[in-house]
Each structure stands twice: as C-alpha cells, then as structure tokens.
C-alpha cells in the first residue's frame, strides 16, 4: 500500500514538472549586422536540424519547440557572413528564462531582448572557436 502511494506521489511530481516545462519556446533571430550584410544561419539541437537559412539585414528566422525536461534542450547555431564564422548556443534551458526569446545578431555577438528593460541589452560573446579548442586539446 505504502509503495503504491509513494509511486503515485513520484508520478504526480514528475507529471507536474513536465507540465511546467512543456510550454512551447519560441526563438526569433534578427540579422542586425552593421555594416549591413547577409548572414547564413544553421541551427541544430541533439534531435533537430533546422536547416540553413540566409537572412538579409533586418531579416528574421524563427523556430519553436517543446523543451525536453530531463535532458534539457540546447540549440546551437553557426553564423556565417563575409570574413566571419561564429557559433552561439541560441537556446540553453538553464540560462534562458524566456518563452519568446528574441535575439539581434551583431558582429560582436548576439543580444537578447529583455522584458524588464524593453531593450536588446542582454549581450553575450560568441562561443569560443571550435578550431582553437581542438588545437588546445592536441597540446594537452
Ligand atoms: C533595417 O531596419 C532599420 C530600422 O527599421 C532601417 O533603418 C534600416 O534601413 C534597415 N536596413 C536595411 C538594410 O534594410
């Protein structure tokens, strides 16, 4: 009897957590490069490849998904424009509290819109270059 109650309790807790996290997350990316340039964006998670999208200046690319509860969800994107290739984790479950996450892509890195300030003032640097990581790994 106790075991059944405990099992039901655990099930209820899990179901509640899933319910909280199952809200759909909307991500929107705006090309805000200055000087203006097209940017080629390729985003993927462990499960999804969102394909390659070319955005003109002021162009947007959006996608939405339901985050996975226990594994967490991470989408990383590459951004290519003349003489540049950069990477950024555009959605990280533990970092991002937004359910509508809007980003401006600048040469220095992406900036996220914040409800509190009503501005795109939460800016991050680009991810460290993968090549450099490999070089460092080969030195160790
Ligand atoms: C992008 O949008 C801004 C603000 O609406 C505008 O001033 C600018 O001319 C646009 N740039 C291009 C290249 O369309």
Say what the pLDDT of residue 18 is. 59
pLDDT digits (tens, 9 = 90+) for 51-96: 999 999 999 999 999 887 666 678 999 999 999 999 999 999 889 9
In the structure, what pLDDT confidence band is assigned to residue 140 with cuts at 50, 70 and 90? very low
Q: Which residue minimizes the CA distance to atom 8 of ligand 1? A: 58
Q: Of the candidates 43, 123, 115, 35, which has an alpha carbon nearest to the alpha carbon of residue 82?
A: 35
Identify the pLDDT of residue 8.
85
Pocket residue to mutate for ligand 1, from 30, 32, 34, 57, most atoms within 8 A of Cβ: 57
Query: Which pTM was predicted?
Result: 0.78
38 neighbors 55 (Cβ within 8 angstroms): yes
Nearest CA to ligand 1 atom 7: 58
């Amino acid at each position: 009897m106790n075991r059944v109650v405990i099992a039901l309790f655990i099930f209820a807790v899990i179901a509640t957590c899933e319910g909280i996290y199952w809200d759909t997350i909307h991500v929107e990316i705006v090309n805000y490069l200055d000087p203006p340039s097209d940017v080629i964006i390729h985003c993927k998670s462990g499960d999804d490849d969102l394909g390659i999208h070319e955005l003109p200046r002021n162009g947007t690319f959006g996608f939405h998904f339901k985050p996975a509860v226990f594994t967490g969800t991470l989408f990383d994107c590459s951004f290519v424009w003349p003489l540049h290739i950069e990477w950024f984790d555009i959605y990280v479950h533990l970092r991002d509290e937004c359910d509508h996450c809007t980003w401006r892509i600048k040469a220095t890195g992406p900036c996220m819109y914040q409800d509190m300030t009503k501005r795109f003032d939460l800016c991050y640097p680009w991810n460290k270059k993968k090549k450099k990581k490999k070089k460092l790994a080969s030195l160790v």
